[in-house]
């Protein structure tokens, strides 16, 4: 399909990579006309995590109403849409397939271009959407429930993975610690709120930097340290301190401070190693106010430009799939036999083939 991106007014974007069914309409100037997110929070809460089969079934039920709602809120009809974008990687395979099937159907029926979006790259692009200036090249950092990934981003379509977690993602650590402390789900916002009343210096939790020059993360040791602090070390006769509200708040604050120290430290290392003067941070954990504050301090000291996604675009949404405009303008159109890629792709270059 030959496409003149300049003739397109609006993109309809779909997101269903995990447990949010989302649709958004974005115009060519990256203005978000509508962004609808149907969260499945209440369906997974009792399990303390996302159940893939429940997630994909919920996407099936919700995807069409969510698309309708996004179009209505934008004041548009399907015939106004010039291209359809969809997150095809990474994510839960059954969840991704629901969004992709809906997007392909729309592309075929409306005879409009289909654009594949990498969910992780879209999290970083959320920063570009509210910046009045170009944010590339940059170090891109996605810190979410599934990923803690550092990228060297030469352009909006050229991302090289330069660091990730060897065990838990940062958001996963927040969620598990929230379970241990019994403060709620999803864990990130619950820990942040509980930590407000706590002393972040009460417990000195480990900061795992692994090898100094490496950009990898590890949070499983920290998670275990929190577990032992809260419940006691298995086999030990030493009783843990009673989990009073104050003790829980102190553990939450001390844990949050340890995670943030590592996240900020590795961002600093990445910027220095790659000689970049810009850092863009997105993903659910980027909504954390301590992280935002510490990142601002670090980048100020280092003379680095910092762009953090607005909190409304941190957790999963379809508006950040506005990155599809970058693909569209470069002629990166997917064919209708496009498939999902549940795992991570380490390097995607600007001139690499569009995934089929
Ligand atoms: O980006 P996201 O919606 O989903 C993934 O792509 O994974 O991120 C969800 C994660 C959850 O682990 C949640 O606990 C965490 O982001 N999160 C936070 C905060 N808000 C959400 N973590 C720390 N502080 C927050 N304020
Ligand atoms: Zn995400």
pLDDT tens per residue across span 213-270: 889 999 999 999 999 999 999 999 889 999 999 999 999 999 999 999 999 999 999 9
Report domain extents, the chain.
5-126+314-329, 134-312
Res 142 pLDDT > 50: yes
pLDDT classification of 348: cutoffs 50, 70, 90? low
CATH class of 134-312: alpha beta
Q: Tell me which residue of 254, 264, 212 sits closest to 230, measured CA to CA.
A: 254
Res 354 pLDDT > 60: no
Nearest CA to ligand 1 atom 16: 284
pLDDT classification of 316: cutoffs 50, 70, 90? very high
Q: Tell me which residue of 105, 97, 284 sits closest to 186, measured CA to CA.
A: 284
Q: What gap in Å lies between CA 53 and CA 259, rounded to an integer?
A: 31
118 lines ligand 1 (CB under 6 A): no
Alpha carbon 265 to chain centroid distance? Answer: 19
Q: What is the pLDDT of residue 211?
A: 74
Q: Which two tokens stand for residue 98?
A: 């629901």
Q: How far is the centre of ligand 1, averaged over its atoms, from the C-alpha of 60 (Å)?
A: 23
Nearest CA to ligand 1 atom 23: 188
81 lines ligand 1 (CB under 6 A): no
Q: What gap in Å lies between CA 321 and CA 87, rounded to an integer?
A: 7
- Whole-prediction pTM: 0.92
Q: What is the pLDDT of residue 170?
A: 97
216: DSSP letter:
-
Q: What gap in Å lies between CA 217 and CA 150, rounded to an integer?
A: 10
* Side-chain-side CA neighbours of residue 100 (13 Å): 28
pLDDT over 70 for what percent of the chain?
Answer: 97
Q: What is the pLDDT of residue 345?
A: 66
Is residue 255 a contact partner of residue 191, using CB atoms and an 8 Å limit?
Answer: yes
User: Is the domain covering 5-126+314-329 a CATH 3.30.420.40 domain?
Assistant: yes
Give the contacts of 139 (CB within 8 A, at least 6 positions apart).
Answer: 150, 151, 152, 153, 267, 270, 271, 274, 276, 278, 279, 280
pLDDT classification of 193: cutoffs 50, 70, 90? very high
Q: How far is the centre of ligand 1, averaged over its atoms, from the C-alpha of 172 (Å)?
A: 8
The residue that leads in pLDDT, 341 or 295, is 295
Alpha helix (H) residue ranges in 141-231:
170-181, 187-195, 220-231
Residues with CB under 5 A from ligand 2 (ion): 144, 316
Alpha helix (H) residue ranges in 242-306:
245-274, 289-302
Q: How far is the centre of ligand 1, averaged over its atoms, from the C-alpha of 80 (Å)?
A: 33
24: DSSP letter:
E
Mutate which of 188, 258, 310 for ligand 1? The one with the most ligand atoms within 8 Å of its CB, which is 188
Nearest CA to ligand 1 atom 19: 188
Q: What is the pLDDT of residue 185?
A: 79
Q: Quick check: helix, strand or coil at residue 130?
A: helix
Q: What separation, in Å, do the N-terminal and C-terminal C-alpha atoms of the chain show?
A: 14
Mutate which of 165, 174, 256, 344 for ligand 1? The one with the most ligand atoms within 8 Å of its CB, which is 174
pLDDT classification of 210: cutoffs 50, 70, 90? confident
Q: What gap in Å lies between CA 108 and CA 147, rounded to an integer?
A: 33
Instruction: Write down the residue that tokens 């170090």 correspond to.
Output: 139
Mean pLDDT in the chain?
93
pLDDT classification of 41: cutoffs 50, 70, 90? confident
282 lines ligand 1 (CB under 6 A): no
Average pLDDT over residues 114-124: 97
pLDDT over 90 for what percent of the chain?
Answer: 85
Instruction: Write down the residue that tokens 């729309």 correspond to.
Output: 106
186 lines ligand 1 (CB under 6 A): yes
Among 183-197, 208-222, 311-325, where is mean pLDDT lowest? 208-222
Q: Do domains 5-126+314-329 and 134-312 have the same CATH topology?
A: yes
* Side-chain-side CA neighbours of residue 16 (13 Å): 31
Q: What gap in Å lies between CA 224 and CA 239, rounded to an integer?
A: 16
């Amino acid at each position: 399909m030959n496409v003149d991106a300049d003739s397109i007014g609006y993109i309809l974007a779909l997101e269903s990579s995990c447990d949010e069914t989302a649709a958004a309409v974005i115009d060519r100037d990256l203005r978000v006309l509508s962004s609808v997110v149907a969260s499945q929070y209440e369906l997974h809460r009792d399990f303390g995590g996302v159940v893939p089969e429940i997630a994909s079934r919920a996407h099936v039920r919700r995807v069409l109403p969510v698309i309708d709602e996004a179009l209505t809120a934008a004041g548009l009809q399907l015939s106004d849409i010039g291209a359809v974008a969809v997150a095809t990687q990474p994510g839960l395979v059954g969840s991704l397939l629901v969004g992709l099937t809906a997007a392909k159907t729309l592309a075929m029926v409306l005879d409009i271009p289909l654009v594949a979006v990498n969910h992780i790259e879209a999290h970083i692009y959320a920063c570009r959407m509210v910046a009045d200036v170009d944010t590339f090249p940059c170090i891109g950092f996605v810190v979410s429930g599934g990923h803690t990934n550092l990228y060297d981003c030469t352009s909006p379509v050229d991302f090289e993975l330069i660091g990730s977690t060897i065990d838990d993602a940062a958001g996963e650590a927040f969620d598990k610690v929230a379970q241990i402390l019994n403060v709620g789900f999803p864990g990130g916002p619950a820990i942040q709120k509980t930590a407000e009343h706590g002393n972040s210096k009460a417990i000195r939790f480990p900061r795992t930097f692994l090898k100094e020059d490496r950009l990898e993360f590890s949070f499983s040791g920290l998670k275990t340290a929190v577990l032992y602090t809260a419940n006691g070390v298995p086999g030990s006769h030493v009783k843990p301190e009673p989990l009073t509200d104050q003790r829980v708040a102190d553990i939450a604050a001390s844990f949050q401070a340890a995670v943030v120290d590592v996240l900020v430290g590795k961002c600093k290392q990445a910027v220095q190693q790659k000689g970049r003067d810009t850092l863009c941070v997105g993903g659910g954990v980027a909504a954390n106010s301590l992280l935002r504050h510490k990142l601002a301090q670090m980048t100020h000291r280092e003379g680095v430009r910092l762009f953090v996604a607005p909190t409304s675009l941190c957790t999963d949404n379809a508006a950040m799939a506005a990155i599809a405009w970058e693909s569209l303008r470069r002629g990166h159109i997917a064919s209708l036999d496009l498939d999902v890629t549940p795992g991570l792709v380490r390097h995607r270059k600007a001139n690499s083939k569009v995934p089929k």
